A = this chain, B = another copy of it.
Amino acid sequence: MSGTAASGREKAYAYLRENILTDPDVQGRFLNEQELAAEIGVSRTPVREALLLLVSDGLVELIPQRGAYVPPVTGREMSELMELRGVLESHAARLVIDQGRVPARTMQDTLDQQAALPDELNPEAAREFIRLDTLFHQQLIDAAGNELISRTYSKLHVRQILVGVSALFRTGGRRGQVCAEHQVILDALVSGDSAKAQEAIDHHLAVTRDILLRN
């Protein structure tokens, strides 16, 4: 494994994050502290601390005297997220083109890996698909060279994964469409056509939003 430093708090944090992101059933529920403590194998204290950290990821919400609530993703939130993503990605696209810093190689690599996945996604492949999808967009953002924007974008994107996993199973053959749209974006970036890139980004996000809204 990679990070086996595993202080109790980090262990609990990783466990909870993984749990919330992969299991759609936890959404809309309150998390029981001592139950989780028993599952993870630590006391309530590090569990509580992990829950507090998850607030900054937007994955849990603290209701006083009630505990840690996992707010479900609403359609409105998804729409708003796509709008914001569009703003940030368009900005990044304009910047990397103007500065001649389009990470063509890197993004194409990611895209190729994504395209190599089977069209019928088992749970594991679906997670990999989402990871690569996230990576593709993040690579564009990161190329803009603004660390603050990168971190902001990264945190926002987490909320989308919440709904992405379950949504992927409902829509067969989406893989090809996503890859095609990504290719259009990348081609526009490489060709240096800023307007076209922004258009492609907006289109991709609009399609994604519409898919996710069928929920």
Within 8 A of B (CB), among A88-143: 88, 91
Query: Pick the contact of A148 from B48, B80, B148 — CB < 8 Å?
Result: B80
Contacts of A147 in B (CB 8 A): 76-77, 80
Query: For the complex, is A210 an interface residue (Cβ under 8 Å from B)?
Result: no
Instruction: Report Cα–Cα, A77/B146, bound state, in Å.
Output: 9
Copy number of this protein in the oligomer? 2
Binary interface encoding of chain A residues 43-68 relative to chain B, with 1 for a CB under 8 A from any of its CBs, else 0: 00000110011011000000010000
Contacts of A26 in B (CB 8 A): none
Instruction: Report Cα–Cα, A57/B91, bound state, in Å.
Output: 24
A interface residues, tally (CB under 8 Å): 25
Query: For the complex, is A152 an interface residue (Cβ under 8 Å from B)?
Result: yes
When the two chains form their complex, are residues B49 and A83 in contact, meaning their CB atoms are under 8 A apart?
Answer: no
Contacts of A2 in B (CB 8 A): none
Contacts of A52 in B (CB 8 A): 49, 52-53
Residue of B nearest to A148 (CB): B80
When the two chains form their complex, are residues B87 and A148 in contact, meaning their CB atoms are under 8 A apart?
Answer: no
When the two chains form their complex, are residues A7 and B64 in contact, meaning their CB atoms are under 8 A apart?
Answer: yes
Instruction: Report Cα–Cα, A179/B213, bound state, in Å.
Output: 43
Binary interface encoding of chain A residues 150-171 relative to chain B, with 1 for a CB under 8 A from any of its CBs, else 0: 0010001000000000000000
Contacts of A5 in B (CB 8 A): 64
Contacts of A91 in B (CB 8 A): 87
